[in-house]
Amino acid sequence: MGNIKNPDGVGRAGNPVCGDIMELFVKIKTDKNKDIIKDLKFQTLGCAAAISTSDVACEILKGKTIEQALKIKAKDIVKELGGLPPAKIHCSLLAIEALQAAIKDYLKKKENKNK
C-alpha cells in the first residue's frame, strides 16, 4: 500500500456505483528485452474487499513480465484471495482495470521516450 516516487506507470480505476477507487503505481525493469514489473503500490478508497483485492493483485503481479501480467484475470485474484461474496466480485475488476491503465501509461511513456 502506498505510492511509488517517480513511477513508470500509473493506472486509475473506479466503480461509480459503489464509489470504490483504485490507483496503481508500477516500476518496470527491462531485462533481456522483457519489461518486468519490479514493484507495485496501490492506494484504494473503498471497502475491505476492494482493498484486499488491490493488495493481492500486487502480490500476484510483482516479478511478472508485462505480457504475463496482462493475462491475469479478475477470477485469478478472487481465487488467490480465497473467494469473495458475489456482490463483491466487481472489486477484483478494479485491480485489473488499474493494472491495464498503468501498463498503457508505461508503454506510452516508453514510446515517447524512444521517439
Dist. CA 69–CA 37, nearest whole Å: 8
Per the annotation, the verdict on 18 as an active-site residue is yes
Give the burial class of 71: count Cβ atoms within 10 A of its Cβ; 0-12 exposed, 13-18 middle, 19 or more buried. exposed
Give the burial class of 31: count Cβ atoms within 10 A of its Cβ; 0-12 exposed, 13-18 middle, 19 or more buried. exposed
Name the active-site residue from 18, 47, 70, 89: 18
CA distances from 60 to 19, 56, 65, 110, 114 (A): 25, 6, 11, 24, 29
Name the active-site residue from 91, 96, 102, 103: 91
Per the annotation, the verdict on 91 as an active-site residue is yes
Cell numbers at residue 5, please? 516516487
Return the active site residues. Answer: 18, 91
